[in-house]
């Protein structure tokens, strides 16, 4: 009964396509109240007064609370994981404690009968600010003229370095050195469901139950326990249907803490359902790096050295302190043979929302820089952009290839399997370049290579339990925001248990069901939960064998497990399946259950290549994508259809950053484009149909050969798109060094330039 590798359709889709989903904002409980937050209108200010008088008297307002009301719960929220270098992380309090450090920071909270009343009352709350100087731009902040934390004396929160070989010094041995400054802007993750939380407190058990739109149920549980000073056992976090995450729903937020505190304080269920503006103002954002990078190559275009000094705008707080800048630094060398490398990143505070992991988490930035430099170097040497990659990619005969950098699993980055050059050739051959229509448009191609870093982040636990109805319940701490874990996990378990899929029930992200879990991020879930599921099967079947042996009054060693049946050795007609075992057991018998923990000690590296062909209108600089070929090594594909969905969706998010998205701030830290009318995201009419060419190499880093693939599309698309547009615009001599690439950004360069 092979289940792995089948494109099984998702059972939840029957509910989700017919309006029967249960997202946090859909939850209604008796006597429930709703919240609206009073948010800072200043990027940096001291709060000198809060006056709720007018708001408090509005009909339907239950209460309004400021930081003084929350007492001991006003302390910095927890962050994680601890930074690798010397750094003192900073976190916001549930409500700002005297000073606000970005527009949108929660200052007070209104509790009301419904959200209309709560929002109207929030508008009527009066906040008195002493406005302080603010800085939003990372290069300005680096000058330390305006300090985010004056007591530190600097805006530099940390410095991270990576070095191999002779580092930057080796550049002088290169025949050609190309140097550029690259900018990757601030972008917003924008899951379609804004963040939301429902909290309720049961005075009988003294327990708090929190339903949260989160990627990490246990992370929220531990974070709430810390800020509310509660024993973790007193908190249950459950994750219902979640409308997208992409990294930004991965940690505890102020609103979670406030809602939980209010549920206890008021003894009533409390709901906060954020809106789109709050996603723009108060949810972790991504990217925002400025690089000054140099690539040195020899006469034939072989890489001699890469050096990069870059700034990471980390915002005002550090929910995941150094994840992104460290990952950028680690991933800069990409899938290339690179003898000398040096990267230094300064992580800089600004008066903007926290900049934290968002799909790709540092990899798209690194890939953009490296691939742009390779394009430049190819031009300098006078060889094709594909040829320079061919000459530098790690080859199968080099493997296992260690590039000398320590990765996020604290192990040297090692390519153990795959065929990067072969992948490149496949994409080069597949991309339609042929003849173009004579329509006056300029055409160009971009072909870039990338690697996808997946897993290598700690553990997950899987617990299997045999129900009285013969259904095996599977519990784990991962959390699906659309990835379809319920289906994939059931496929893996059913495959190894040799039962039909409907005999497996997946329960994810309920903190009462497994003692600990990390959650879903870093393209780790399939690897970490997948291996944990497989490893739980053997002890589970051992327990079952003991039960069968007891029923048969036989020795467990004589009970065999074959083709979904327990059989008694040497007795032909003795057989029992799991369902029969379940119903045969006495009602007072203890549960049959077993757990396994899988520690994902080694990161997996998937390989891939994107090839894209664009057409650019030379008058308007409107860009259209005419062909897009993707090769994305997925290792063992548990569910090929769902895997394809991750690749397509990830690539389109990458194209969003490449083509449309940038959140702009003015000099005072005011965000300027906080709606979908002026912050554009990709739409269906402009996105291409992707063509996939498949080359999969099972991972050698975990027993089941699994790899993550949620982030690689995002990682690759920006570099590929920029390369193609620049190639098309050769007649104008346009150089693309920043994203997004828009008609306006091209026009700005061409203005005054030579027209073909």
Partner 1 sequence: MTEISMRVNGENRTVNVEDYWLLADVLREKLGLTGTHLGCEHGVCGACSVMVDGEVVRSCLMLAVQADGTEVTTVEGLGDPDHMSPVQEGFMQEHGLQCGFCTPGLIVTATHFLKENPHPTRQEVREALSGNICRCTGYQHIVNAVLRAADEGEKKAPSPR
Q: Which is nearer to partner 1, 296 or 656 (CB)?
A: 656
Look at phi and psi of residue 380 and say left if phi exceeds 0, alpha if psi is from -120 to 50, else beta. alpha
Q: Which residue has the tokens 């089941």?
A: 704
CB 660 → partner 1: shortest distance, Å? 12
CB 114 → partner 1: shortest distance, Å? 7
- Any idea of the CA torsion for 97, 102, 103, 104, to the nearest 10 degrees? -60
Contact 562, 434 (CB under 8 A): no
CB 488 → partner 1: shortest distance, Å? 12
User: 488 is written with which tokens?
Assistant: 């994939």
CB 395 → partner 1: shortest distance, Å? 29
User: 114 is written with which tokens?
Assistant: 């419904």
Q: Which is nearer to partner 1, 193 or 704 (CB)?
A: 193
CB 21 → partner 1: shortest distance, Å? 6
Collapsing DSSP to helix, strand or coil, 46 comes out as strand
Q: Which is nearer to partner 1, 170 or 643 (CB)?
A: 643
Q: Which residue has the tokens 């308007």?
A: 620
Q: Which is nearer to partner 1, 94 or 191 (CB)?
A: 191
Give the end-to-end CA distance of the chain in Å, rounded to a whole number: 63
Q: Which residues bind partner 1 (CB under 8 A)?
A: 9-10, 12-23, 25-26, 28, 114-116, 190-194, 241-244, 246, 275-276, 481-484, 641-642, 644-645, 648-653, 675-677, 681-685, 687, 689-692, 713
Whole-angstrom Cα distance, residue 349 to residue 156? 6
Q: Which is nearer to partner 1, 545 or 632 (CB)?
A: 632
Collapsing DSSP to helix, strand or coil, 195 comes out as coil
CB 617 → partner 1: shortest distance, Å? 18
Q: Which residue has the tokens 């004589």?
A: 558
Backbone angles phi, psi at 135, to 5 degrees: -140, 130
Backbone angles phi, psi at 44, to 5 degrees: -150, 120
Q: Which is nearer to partner 1, 684 or 754 (CB)?
A: 684
Contact 537, 578 (CB under 8 A): no
Q: Which residues pair with 201 in a beta bridge?
A: 208
CB 503 → partner 1: shortest distance, Å? 20
Q: Which is nearer to partner 1, 12 or 298 (CB)?
A: 12
Contact 147, 331 (CB under 8 A): no
User: 20 is written with which tokens?
Assistant: 């029967």
Q: In what order do the strands lie in the sheet with 604-616?
A: 442-454, 604-616, 623-632, 691-693
CB 84 → partner 1: shortest distance, Å? 31
Q: Which is nearer to partner 1, 74 or 273 (CB)?
A: 273
Q: Which is nearer to partner 1, 403 or 715 (CB)?
A: 715
Collapsing DSSP to helix, strand or coil, 707 comes out as coil
E strand segments, 467-542? 472-476, 504-508
- 534 contacts: CB under 8 Å, gap ≥ 6: 492, 496, 703, 704
Whole-angstrom Cα distance, residue 478 to residue 706? 16
Q: Which is nearer to partner 1, 495 or 644 (CB)?
A: 644
Whole-angstrom Cα distance, residue 309 to residue 171? 14
CB 632 → partner 1: shortest distance, Å? 13
Q: Helices 525-552 and 485-497 sit at what angle, rounded to 10 degrees?
A: 40
Q: Which is nearer to partner 1, 532 or 652 (CB)?
A: 652
CB 310 → partner 1: shortest distance, Å? 27
Q: Which is nearer to partner 1, 60 or 384 (CB)?
A: 60
Whole-angstrom Cα distance, residue 624 to residue 621? 10
SS (H, E, C) 347-383: EEECCCCCECCCCCCCHHHHHHHHHHHHHHHHHHHCC
CB 623 → partner 1: shortest distance, Å? 16
CB 681 → partner 1: shortest distance, Å? 6
Of 409, 479, 533, which is closest to residue 221 (Cα–Cα)?
479
CB 506 → partner 1: shortest distance, Å? 16
Q: Which is nearer to partner 1, 359 or 496 (CB)?
A: 359
Name the DSSP letter for residue 665.
Answer: B
Whole-angstrom Cα distance, residue 553 to residue 560? 14
Total residue length of the chain = 756
E strand segments, 602-756? 604-616, 623-632, 691-693
CB 116 → partner 1: shortest distance, Å? 7
Q: Which is nearer to partner 1, 491 or 700 (CB)?
A: 491
């Amino acid at each position: 009964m092979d289940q792995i590798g089948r494109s099984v359709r998702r059972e939840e889709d029957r509910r989700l396509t017919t309006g029967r989903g249960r997202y946090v904002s859909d939850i209604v409980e008796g006597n429930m109240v709703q919240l609206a937050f009073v948010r800072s209108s200043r990027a940096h200010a001291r709060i000198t007064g809060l006056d709720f008088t007018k708001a408090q008297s509005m009909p339907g307002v239950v209460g309004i609370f400021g930081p003084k009301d929350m007492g001991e719960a006003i302390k910095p929220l927890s962050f994680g994981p601890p930074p690798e270098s010397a750094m003192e992380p900073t976190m916001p309090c549930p409500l700002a404690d005297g000073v606000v450090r970005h527009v949108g920071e929660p200052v007070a909270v209104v509790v009301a009968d419904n959200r209309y009343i709560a929002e109207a009352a929030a508008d009527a709350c009066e906040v008195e600010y002493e406005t302080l100087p603010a800085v939003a731009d990372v290069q300005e902040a680096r000058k330390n003229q305006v300090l985010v934390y004056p007591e530190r004396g600097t805006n530099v929160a940390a410095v991270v370095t990576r070095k191999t070989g002779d580092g930057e010094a080796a550049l002088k041995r290169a025949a050609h050195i190309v140097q550029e400054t690259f900018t990757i802007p601030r972008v917003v993750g924008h899951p379609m469901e804004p963040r939301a939380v429902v909290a309720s407190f049961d005075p009988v058990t003294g327990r708090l139950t929190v339903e949260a739109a989160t990627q990490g149920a246990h992370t929220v549980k531990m974070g709430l326990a810390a800020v509310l000073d509660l024993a973790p056992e007193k908190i249950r976090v459950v994750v219902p249907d979640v409308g997208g995450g992409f990294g930004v729903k991965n940690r505890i937020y102020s609103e979670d803490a406030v809602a939980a505190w209010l549920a206890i304080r008021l003894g009533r269920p409390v709901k906060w359902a954020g809106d789109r503006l709050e996603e723009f103002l108060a949810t972790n954002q991504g990217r925002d790096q400025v690089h000054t990078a140099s690539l040195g190559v020899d006469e034939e275009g072989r890489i001699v050295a890469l050096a990069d000094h870059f700034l990471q705008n980390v915002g005002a707080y550090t929910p995941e302190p150094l994840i992104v800048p460290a990952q950028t630094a680690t991933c800069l060398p990409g899938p290339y043979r690179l003898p000398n490398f040096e990267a230094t990143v300064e992580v800089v505070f600004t008066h903007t929302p926290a900049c934290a992991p968002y799909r790709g988490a540092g990899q798209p930035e690194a890939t953009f820089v490296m691939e742009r430099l390779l394009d430049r170097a190819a031009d300098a040497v006078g060889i094709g952009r594909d040829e320079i990659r061919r000459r530098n990619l790690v080859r199968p005969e080099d493997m296992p290839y260690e590039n000398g950098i320590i990765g996020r699993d604290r192990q040297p980055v090692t390519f153990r399997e795959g065929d990067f050059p072969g992948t490149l050739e496949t994409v080069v051959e597949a991309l339609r370049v042929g003849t173009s229509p004579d329509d006056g448009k300029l055409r160009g191609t971009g072909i870039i290579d990338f690697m996808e870093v997946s897993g290598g982040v700690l553990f997950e636990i899987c617990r299997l339990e045999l129900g009285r109805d013969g259904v095996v319940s599977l519990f784990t701490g991962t959390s699906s925001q659309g990835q379809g874990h319920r289906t994939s996990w059931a496929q893996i378990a059913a495959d190894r248990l040799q039962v039909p899929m409907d005999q497996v029930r997946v329960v994810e992200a309920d903190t009462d069901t497994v003692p600990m879990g990390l959650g879903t991020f870093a393209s780790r879930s399939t690897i970490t939960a997948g291996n944990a599921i497989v490893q739980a099967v053997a002890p589970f079947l051992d327990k079952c064998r003991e039960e069968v042996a007891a029923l048969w009054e036989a020795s467990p060693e004589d009970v065999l497990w074959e083709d979904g049946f327990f059989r008694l050795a040497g007795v032909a007609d003795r057989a029992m399946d799991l369902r029969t075992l379940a119903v045969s057991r006495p009602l007072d018998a203890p549960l049959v259950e077993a757990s396994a923990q899988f520690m994902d000690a080694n990161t997996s590296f998937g390989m891939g290549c994107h090839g894209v062909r664009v057409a650019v209108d030379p008058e308007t600089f409107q860009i259209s994508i005419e062909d897009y070929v993707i090769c994305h090594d997925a290792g063992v594909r548990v569910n090929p259809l769902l895997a394809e969905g991750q690749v397509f969706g990830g690539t389109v998010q990458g194209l969003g950053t490449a083509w449309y998205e940038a959140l702009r701030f003015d000099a005072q830290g005011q965000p300027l484009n906080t709606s979908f009318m002026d912050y554009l995201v990709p739409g269906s009419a402009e996105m291409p149909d992707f063509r996939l060419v498949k080359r999969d190499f099972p991972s050698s880093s975990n027993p089941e050969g699994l790899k993550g693939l949620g982030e690689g599309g995002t990682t690759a698309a920006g570099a590929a798109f920029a390369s193609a547009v620049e190639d098309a615009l050769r007649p104008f001599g346009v150089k693309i060094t920043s994203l997004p690439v828009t008609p306006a950004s091209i026009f700005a360069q061409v203005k005054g330039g030579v027209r073909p």
